[in-house]
Structure 1
Amino acid sequence: MSGYTLRQLECFVAVAEQGSIASAAKGLLLSQSAVSGAVDALEKAFATQLTIRRKAHGVALTPSGRYVLEQARSLLSQAEDLRLHASDAGGQLRGSLAVGCYSSLAPTVLARLIDHYTTRHPLVELDFFAGSQLEVRQRLNGGSLDAAIAYDMSLPPELARRRLYDAVPSIVLAADHPLAGLPGLTLGQVAEEPMILLDVDPSRENTMMMFAAAGLQPRIRFRTTDFEVTRSLVARGMGYSILVQQPAGAVSYEGKPVVVLPILPAVRKVPVSVVWPQAAQPSRAAAALIELAGELFADQPSGTSHVRVTART
């Protein structure tokens, strides 16, 4: 026998996430004494202190508590997965799924993935979030996202990943720029030109690394945190930019044309991967999304991964 219950785990997770016994009790529709007793029982079952409870300062987790929190979330998710699929012997996928995506990838990668997933698994309640790579990582670590699409750069080892394809950085210019008619450009040819820098990681990091590797320093005129604002400024002739993701149409939101040129010599490609928490085995709904992502982007020029993800049973 385990010596603890799912209800106790649920109370502990609620306390950890809400930061206090009172807030957890309100969310669970239980008395504070019931929630406190459940956490006490869990600490007794594990023979270790999980929380530090301080009056007027809420609840903090011990190192053991942080470990148990991660495992408890996984167990509770597995239990819900079992409940949802027991009656139909694991047939039609059900449940909920939260997917994240780095913002500049979302319009082309996430939209395609959601469209195919909801068609294939209509009973799954799918939600999504698009934001910076840091925000996506934080939500994955916090348990509010099941999986995410991200550039596979500087990702922590606690995230498992399946590589989907390699993206190629390119130089983007206004269509009437004097260099726009060339078949390609070196970084040296644009280093003295004004740059519009997409100033969010990993885009900023990748751009600056490329120039540093070439022994160059770009002349940054404007910094933006929005992909389309970057392209609009470029289209108006205010500078060039280096972007990895490219829309199908070579115009800005204002309808002004841009030209996308390869960087010569070829620079390092940027891998795009679907990632999920290493410590938590994906639910059936999440595993299906990971597999589908691999299928959809297998036709990309540099798609490489054929690793199969096993769902919880």
Structure 2
Amino acid sequence: MTADFSLRQLEYFVAVASTGSISAAAVQCHASQAGISTAITDLERRLGVQLLVRRRAKGVFLTEAGTRVLDHAHAMLARADDLAASARAEKGRLAGRLTIGCYATLSPFLIPPLVDGFTRGHPDVDLQFMDGSQDEIRQSLLEGACDLGLLYETGAEAGLTCSTVRVCRPYVILSADHPLAALESVRLADLADEPLILYASPPAPGNAERWLHSAGVKPDIRYLTSSIEAVRSLVARGLGYSMLLQRWPSDTSFEGLPLAAVPISDPLDEPRVVIAHASNVIPTRRASVFAQYARETLAVPVQAP
């Protein structure tokens, strides 16, 4: 028994579902609105279910059946793309488009080594990446806008399958001439009276406050910024301390001032960086190979000298 619907119809259906309207899907697919509407109506007829509810001037929304079909449509389109790429590639070589999403604050640390190393080993793969907030990367994975995502594990990964690529240990940064800068490690209680330069990534604040509270320290937040380089520069000028996760390759600020990175002796939770894919999608071979490469490459973070 063969299916009597086309991949193009599935592509149009996925585009309408992801954009929320037939007009936006038409722009995305470089097709006419009438063509998109006709294709989906025919798809509904062939499947025997209503996939969308059309609302005049208010776009469309998925029916319960449409939600179920969408999961399968994503998977079928991914497998079709994988089949086409495999057919074009030389024997044993990976080919085709692969899009990686990455939490923006992780991008400078993770994306360059992964893109460089993976494309050297697999030059026929069209590797693309996008960055954004944790929520944006999660949503892109669920909507099929990216194949894999690199983000922090937060416990809010519903609909995603995750595997750990790196475990991070929080540390303190201080100005080079700070009295605690020369210690082998520091207790958070020793910083109780110090001003905190807090890194906060919208829409949620960072982890520093939680770590301090767990050590019985009430933070004295002096400045708050969504720029990590601003945090490091303020600390380097002696205006306070901060707590970070990722390790810079050099202990200097954006302005070239020296910084001290000091381990924390308190027992703290260690956040995990994971590579994820939508649970309802079977990863393509190139996605699986990239995920394994990421786990092997990122297992040991670059340490500051």
Unaligned ranges ≥5, structure 2: none
Structure 1: distance between partners of 2:222 and 2:18: 42
Residue in 2 that maps onto 1:239: 240
Deviation per residue, 1:250-278 (Å, 9 max, x gap): 10011101111111223221212211111
Paired position in structure 2 for 1:283 = 284
8 Å contact from structure 2 (residues 95, 126) kept in 1: yes
Give distance in 1, aligned partners of 2:145 and 2:36. 22
What secondary structure, in the 3-state scheme, does the structure 1 residue paired with 2:201 have? coil
The C-alpha deviation readout for 1:273-295, integer Å capped at 9, x for no partner, is 21111111112221111011122
Answer yes or no: is 1:17 the counterpart of 2:13.
no
* CA–CA distance in structure 2, aligned partners of residues 250 and 197 of structure 1: 18
- 1:171 is aligned to 172
Look up the SS of the partner of 2:291 in the other structure. Answer: helix
Describe how 1:50-65 pairs up with structure 2 within 5 A: 50-65=51-66
Rounded to whole Å, the distance in 1 between the matches of 2:101 and 2:143 is: 12
Structure 1 residue 130 corresponds to structure 2 residue 138: no
Look up the equivalent residue of 1:107 and give its one-letter code. P
| 1:115 matched residue in structure 2 | 116
Match of 1:152 in 2: 153
Native 8 Å contact 2:100 2:129 kept in 1: yes
**Distance of 2:91 and 2:51 partners within structure 1:** 35
For residues 195 and 132 of structure 1, do their structure 2 counterparts lie closer, same or farther at Cα, with a shift above 3 Å needed? Answer: same
- In the alignment, which residue of structure 1 is the partner of 2:210? 209
Q: Secondary structure at the match of 1:150?
A: strand
Displacement, 1:4?
2.7
Partner of 2:207: helix, strand, or coil?
Answer: helix
Counterpart in 2 of 1:221? 222
CA distance in 2, matches of 1:206, 1:256: 25
Q: Which amino acid aligns with 2:92?
A: G
* Alpha-carbon distance, 1:242 to partner: 0.4
Please give the residue correspondences for 1:92-103 in structure 2 after superposition, counting only pairs within 5 Å.
92-103=93-104
Aligned 8 A contact 1:195 1:220 in 2: yes
Aligned-partner residue type, residue 128 of structure 2: D
In structure 1, how many angstroms separate the alpha carbons of the residues matched to 2:179 and 2:28?
A: 62
Q: How big is the shift at 1:90?
A: 5.4
Equivalent residues of 1:99, 1:128 under 8 A apart:
yes
| Shift in CA distance, 128/61, structure 1 to aligned 2, threshold 3 Å | same
SS of the residue corresponding to residue 246 of structure 2 reads coil
| 1:73-108 Cα distance to aligned partner (Å, 9 max, x none) | 221121111012125475221111111222232222
Q: Deviation string for 1:182-214 (max 9, x for gaps)?
A: 222111111221101110279845322222222
8 Å Cα contact 1:174/1:234 also seen in 2: yes
Deviations 1:33-77 (A, max 9, x none): 432222122223333321111222222222332332232122112
Deviation at 1:147, TM superposition (A): 0.9
SS of the aligned residue for 1:73 comes to helix
Q: Gaps spanning 5+ residues in structure 1: where?
A: 302-313
- Look up the SS of the partner of 2:109 in the other structure: helix
TM (norm. structure 2) is 0.90
Aligned residues of 1:150 and 1:272 also touching (Cα < 8 A) = yes
Question: Could you say which residue in structure 2 is the equivalent of 1:83?
Answer: 84
Residue identity in the other structure for 1:53 = R
**Residue 297 of structure 1: CA displacement?**
3.0
Q: In terms of mean alpha carbon deviation, does 125-134 or 87-96 score higher?
A: 87-96
Which residue pairs with 1:254 in the alignment?
A: 255
1:6/1:191 CA distance change after superposition, 3 Å: same
Match of 1:34 in 2: 35
Query: CA–CA distance in 2 between the matches of 1:19 and 1:51?
Result: 10
Q: How many residues align?
A: 301
Moved more, 283-292 or 45-54: 45-54
CA distance in 2, matches of 1:43, 1:66: 13
Q: Residues 231, 35 of structure 1: CA spacing in aligned structure 2 closer, same or farther, 3 A cutoff?
A: same
Identity of aligned residues (%): 39
CA distance in 2, matches of 1:94, 1:63: 35
Q: TM-score, normalised by structure 1?
A: 0.88
- Runs of 4+ in structure 1 off by over 6 angstroms are none
The CA deviation string for residues 162-198 of structure 1, in whole angstroms up to 9 with x for no partner, is 2122111001101111222222211111122110111
Structure 2 SS opposite 1:199: strand
Is the 1:100–1:130 Cα contact (8 Å) retained in structure 2? yes
Alpha-carbon distance in 2 for matches of 1:196, 1:67: 47
Shift of 1:123: 1.2
> What's the Cα RMSD here?
2.3
Contact 2:103 2:132 in 1 (8 A): yes
